[in-house]
Amino acid sequence: MASQNTQNIKERLSIEEVVGQYVELKPAGTSLKGRCPFHAEKTPSFMVSPMRQNYHCFGCGVGGDIFTFVQEIEGLDFKGALKTLADKAGIELVYEKGVQRDDNDALFSILESVTQYYTENLKQNTKAVNYLQERGLTDETIDSFRIGFALDGWSGAYDYLKGVGFSEKNIEQAGLIKKGSKGSYDRFRSRIMFPIADSAGRIVAFSGRIFDKEDDNTGKYINSPETPLYHKSKILYGYDRARQAIRKANFAVLVEGQMDLIATHQAKYNNAVALSGTALTSEHITLLGRMSKNLCIALDADAAGIASAGKSARAALSAGFDVKIAALPEGTDPADMLASGEIEAWKKTIKDSQHIIDFLLQLCRRKSKDERAFKLTVQKEILPYLLDIESEIDKSHFVQKVAAQLSVGEEAVRRELSKLKAVPVNEGIQPQTIPTKDVASLGAEEELVLMYLWQQGLDDQLVDCKRLKIQIEEALTPIGFKALEEKLAGNKEAAFTFEALYHDEDSMKRAINELIERLLKRGLQKELDDASIAIRKAESEDNKKDIAAYEQKHQDILEKLRKLDSHL
C-alpha cells in the first residue's frame, strides 16, 4: 500500500506546496527559506528544496519529506499523514491485499464501526433528534458531525462490535468498554455521542452527553479514557475541520464544549475549536500556533468560564499569542446564543472582542467596591498576565495602560512585576520536544563538522574550509573538533541534505555563522556560571582581590554575550 500510495501523492503534491501552507517561504537560490515551524527563531534557518523534495532546519535539526513534515506538524502517525495528503491530492488510497495491519489499524476500524452504529441508533431515537434540533442543530449539521446515540442497554455497542468480528481486547483498548464482576459492559450508555477526530479526521475517541437519564451519577459529560490513539492533551475538538479556516482568517476561536463548537461551525465560524475536559495544553497551543498566533476565547460567561478563559489565556500569552476575550452575555454560552438565532449578535461579539488585559481591567472595575479594592485586585489578578506576555513591546504597552488605570507611575507597576516570579500556569505545559530523525537528529556542533567534511570533499567549495575549521575549533576546542571529525567521517547522508539546501556561498555562510554563534553563546554561558560560582566562593573567603578579578571577568563575559545576542 505505502509505496504506491506515497508515489501517487508525491506526483501530485510538491514539498513547497505542502510546507507553504504552514510556513511563509521566500526564494533562497534554487531553494526556499522560512522561519522554522518547530522552534522559535528570529533568523530563518528552515530550508526547503524543490529539487530534492525535502526540508531541513539548521536551527533545530528537523528534516524529511512531505510525509514526515505533516506527521510532525499535525502530530500524526505515518498513516494519518498519508490520509491527510491523499485527501489534499484528491487520491483514493489503495490497500494491497495481504498487507499486515497493526493494532492501531484495528482500533481505528473499531471506532469507525461504532461511530456508524451510534449514528444509526440516533436515527431511531426521535426524542434525542428533537433535543438536538431544539438546541438549534440542523439535520445536515447532525450528519456532518456524525452525532450518534449510545443505547441504555448494558452492552449494546460491545455486542455489536463483537458481532462484526472485533476482539474484546481491541474493543477495550479503544476505550469503549469497562470490565466488571459480571463481564464487560459499555462505557457509554444512554448518551448522545460526539465523535472526536485527530488532525486527519480519523475518529479516535468520543464525548458522551447523558440523555433521558438525568439521575445518572457518572456526570453530564464523559469522555473516552486515554488510549493508544487518544491523548486529550494533544487533541482539540474540531481542529481537523478548523485548521484551514484558522489559517485563512488568521485567528482561532476557542470554545468550551462540543455543542458550542458545532453551533459556531453551523454559523459559518469554521475557525473555532473546543476543549474537551482539559485545560489548554502546550500541545494544543503548538497546533494552533502553526495556523495562527491570534486567539479569541469565547467561553461561558460565568465565574467558571472566566476562570477557564484565564488559564487558557495565560498559557497562550506565554507562547507569544495575541489573546482576546469575546465577552458573552452573563449566563450565556455560544450554543445558547446561536440556538436563539442571534447570529448577528454572535458576530458582533467576536468582532468586539478585547485583549485579555483590557477585558480583565473592565471586569475588575465593575466588581470592585472602591478604588483601593480595584487597585489591589489589579495587582493580584492582572499583573501575572503582564508577566506572561512574551513581547517586551506589547508588555510595555499594557504596563502603560495598567499604570494609567491605577493612577500610578509606570515604574511602580514595573517594580511590582519584578516581585512576581514566572510560574507555570498549567502543570501539563512542558517545553516542546523538537522531533528529529536521521541526519536531522544531530546537534549544531555535529552539523558544523559535517558541513566541513562535505565541503572538504568538493572540488568547487562554497566556503573556505581552513577558516571553517578554525571557527569550529574556537567553539569546540581542537580536541572536540577532532573527536567529532573521527566520529562523523563515515556519514554519507549529510552530503545529500546539504547539496539540496545550499547552492550559494551566502546562504551557507549565514547558516554557519548562526550555528557558530549558538555554540559560542553556550560556551560563554558556561563560563559565566563558573565565574558566578567563583565570585561567591571569593566572597565567602573575603578575598577582595579575587572578587574584583572574577567580577571583571563576569562583566567581560556578559559583554560578549550581549554582542552575540545582537546577532542572533
The mean pLDDT of 101-126, rounded to a whole number, is 92
Which range marks the domain in which residue 160 is found? Answer: 103-223
Do both 281 and 400 map to the same domain? yes
Do both 193 and 247 map to the same domain? no
Helices marked H in 353-432 — which ranges?
356-367, 371-377, 383-388, 392-406, 410-419
pLDDT at residue 49, rounded to an integer: 84
Tell me if 250 is assigned to some domain. Answer: yes
238: left (phi over 0), alpha (psi -120 to 50) or beta: left
The cell for 39 is 522552534
pLDDT at residue 545, rounded to an integer: 86
Residue recorded with cell 459480571? 182
The domain that holds 51 is classified in CATH as 3.90.580.10
Do both 429 and 531 map to the same domain? no
Tell me if 405 is assigned to some domain. Answer: yes
Of 223, 246, 279, at which residue does a domain stop?
223
What is the identity of the amino acid at 104?
A: N
pLDDT at residue 284, rounded to an integer: 92
Q: Over pLDDT 70: what percentage of the chain?
A: 89
Phi, psi angle pair for 180, to nearest 5°: -120, -175
pLDDT at residue 360, rounded to an integer: 92
Of 89, 111, 145, at which residue does a domain stop?
89
Judged against a pLDDT cut of 90, whether residue 253 lies above it is answered with yes
Distance (Å, whole) CA 289 – CA 283: 10
Strand partners, 208: 193, 222
Tell me if 40 is assigned to some domain. Answer: yes
Do both 193 and 281 map to the same domain? no
The mean pLDDT of 13-26, rounded to a whole number, is 90
The domain that holds 126 is classified in CATH as 3.90.980.10
pLDDT at residue 551, rounded to an integer: 82
Judged against a pLDDT cut of 60, whether residue 46 lies above it is answered with yes
pLDDT at residue 193, rounded to an integer: 97
Do both 318 and 402 map to the same domain? yes
- pLDDT-derived band at 435 (thresholds 50, 70, 90) equals very low
- pLDDT-derived band at 431 (thresholds 50, 70, 90) equals very low
The domain that holds 288 is classified in CATH as 3.40.1360.10
The mean pLDDT of 488-497, rounded to a whole number, is 65
Judged against a pLDDT cut of 50, whether residue 144 lies above it is answered with yes
| pTM given for the model | 0.69
pLDDT at residue 397, rounded to an integer: 95
Of 29, 61, 89, at which residue does a domain stop?
89
pLDDT at residue 53, rounded to an integer: 86
Q: Distance between alpha carbon 290 and the CA centroid of its chain, in Å? A: 7
Do both 193 and 210 map to the same domain? yes
Torsion of CA 264, 265, 267, 271, to 10 degrees: 80
Tell me if 98 is assigned to some domain. Answer: no
Tell me if 175 is assigned to some domain. Answer: yes
- pLDDT-derived band at 206 (thresholds 50, 70, 90) equals very high
Distance (Å, whole) CA 171 – CA 137: 31
Do both 255 and 333 map to the same domain? yes
Number of domains in the chain: 4
Contact indicator for 177, 185 with CB cutoff of 8 Å: yes
pLDDT at residue 437, rounded to an integer: 36
Do both 23 and 143 map to the same domain? no
The mean pLDDT of 283-293, rounded to a whole number, is 89
The mean pLDDT of 237-247, rounded to a whole number, is 92
